[in-house]
């Protein structure tokens, strides 16, 4: 993949959260899922978000992924404040700037690997219809599935499915890849190879945000953000990785 993201704003910040809160109304009870979170993720960073369940890490992921809007605060994704955007605009940002990778792969079972990669391209007009198939094939090649693009999801192993999902996430050349427990449904060995794939993508300049509760998985990132009770508790830098890279 030669194309590195150019969608972020000039200062190189892909995600910029300023004092973001998210409050859910659960019946009569107000649940403060995020409580004054400020976070900056720069271009080409590999960030892991860690925290136990209920800590608010999923809410943070949903906000970064533009699936939801913050209750208060500012949230810039690739330079756009998404707090006030319409559903339609939000969908467009998701399509252009975000690439989701899920724990359960979430491929469309009735269409081939190639068509699964093509699908997000048909939602967003970043690439012209004539380029799309070629591009999808290239991406599948990069994730190591060049030989299996005509296969349907049920004909692929778990690791292969996740590779297709990653290829799908890359389809529209997004600013950031959001991976929610991407190795959670895979055995250790396959999980490791997927993490290697993320790392190599990161080395090509991709910004990756990985949500996990597994410290071994988080250890692959440059920076680990620990979330607890809706706040960022602390951030640790993985020097081994950073040093190795510099």
Partner 1 sequence: MRLGEILRLSWTNIWNHKMRSLLAILGVLIGVGAVIAIVTMTEGLQTAIETTFTHDILRADTISITSEGGFAFFGSTQAFSDRDVEYIKNLKLSTGESPVKVTDVIGRVRGDVLSFEGRRFLDSTVRVITSPDVIPLSGDQKSQPVTGKGQVLVGVGTAASMCERFKEKDFGSFSDKDKEDFAKLAKDKFDEIIKQDCEHVLKDPRKAELLVCAYKKAKQTNASEITDALKKECADSLTRFTPMADRVRGQTLHLKYLAADSTIKEDDLKIVGIVKDTQFIRSDVSYVSVDYHSDTELLDGTERRVYTGLIVSVNKEFINRLKEVKDALDAYFKSPQADARKILGSEKKVEINTLDEIISQIRGEIGKFTAFMGAIAAVALLVGMIGVMNVMLITVKERTREIGVMKATGATNGGVLRLFLSEAILICSIGALVGVFLGVGGSKLVIKAMEAVFEIKDIPFVFVWVWYIVAVIVGMLVGIVSGVYPAWSAARVNPIEALRYE
| Contact with partner 1 (CB under 8 A) among 100, 173, 198, 206 | 100
Among the listed ranges 5-13, 105-113, 187-195, 201-209, the one in contact with partner 1 (CB under 8 A) is: 105-113
Residue matched to tokens 């910029």: 16
From the list 165, 202, 167, the residue with the least C-alpha distance to 181 is 165
| Contact with partner 1 (CB under 8 A) among 72, 108, 187, 216 | 108
Radius of gyration, alpha carbons of the chain: 17
Q: Which three-class secondary structure state does DSSP give residue 108?
A: coil
| Contact with partner 1 (CB under 8 A) among 21, 32, 40, 68 | 68
The least distance separating partner 1 from the CB of residue 62, rounded to whole angstroms, comes to 5
The least distance separating partner 1 from the CB of residue 101, rounded to whole angstroms, comes to 10
From the list 4, 40, 11, 2, the residue with the least C-alpha distance to 174 is 4
CA dist 38 and 16 (Å) reads 8
From the list 143, 155, 158, the residue with the least C-alpha distance to 102 is 158
Q: 137 forms bridges with which residues in the sheet?
A: none
Binding of partner 1 by 102 (CB under 8 A): yes
| Contact with partner 1 (CB under 8 A) among 96, 161, 206, 223 | 96
For residue 105, give the DSSP letter.
Answer: -
The least distance separating partner 1 from the CB of residue 181, rounded to whole angstroms, comes to 12
Binding of partner 1 by 20 (CB under 8 A): no
Q: Which two tokens stand for residue 67?
A: 């699936």
Indicate the residue among 33 and 232 with the shorter CB distance to partner 1. 33
Other residues' Cβ atoms within 10 Å of the Cβ of residue 138? 17
Among the listed ranges 25-33, 42-50, 102-110, 153-161, the one in contact with partner 1 (CB under 8 A) is: 102-110
Contact at 8 Å (CB) between 220 and 241?
A: yes
Binding of partner 1 by 57 (CB under 8 A): no
Binding-site ranges for partner 1 (CB under 8 A): 62, 65, 67-68, 87-88, 91-92, 94-96, 98, 100, 102, 106, 108, 110-111, 119-120, 122-124, 129, 168, 171-172
């Amino acid at each position: 993949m030669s194309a590195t993201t150019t969608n972020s704003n000039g200062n190189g910040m892909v995600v910029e959260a300023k004092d973001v809160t998210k409050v859910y109304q659960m019946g009569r009870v107000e649940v403060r899922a995020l409580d004054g979170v400020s976070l900056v993720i720069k271009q080409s960073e590999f960030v892991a978000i860690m925290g136990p369940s209920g800590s608010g890490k999923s809410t943070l992921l949903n906000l970064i992924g533009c699936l939801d809007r913050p209750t208060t605060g500012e949230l810039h994704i690739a330079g756009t404040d998404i707090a006030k955007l319409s559903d339609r605009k939000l969908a467009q940002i998701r399509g252009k700037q975000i690439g989701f990778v899920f724990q359960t792969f979430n491929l469309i079972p009735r269409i081939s690997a190639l068509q699964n990669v093509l699908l997000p391209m048909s939602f967003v007009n970043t690439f012209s219809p004539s380029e799309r198939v070629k591009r999808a094939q290239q991406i599948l090649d990069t994730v190591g599935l060049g030989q299996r693009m005509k296969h349907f999801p049920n004909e692929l192993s778990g690791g292969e499915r996740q590779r297709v999902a990653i290829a799908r996430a890359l389809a529209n050349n997004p600013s950031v890849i959001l991976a929610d427990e991407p190795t959670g449904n895979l055995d250790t060995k396959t999980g490791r190879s997927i993490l290697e794939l993320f790392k190599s993508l990161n080395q090509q300049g991709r910004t990756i945000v990985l949500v996990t509760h597994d410290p071994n998985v988080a250890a692959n990132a440059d920076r680990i953000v620990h979330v607890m009770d809706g706040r960022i508790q602390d951030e640790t830098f993985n020097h081994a990785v950073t040093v190795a890279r510099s």
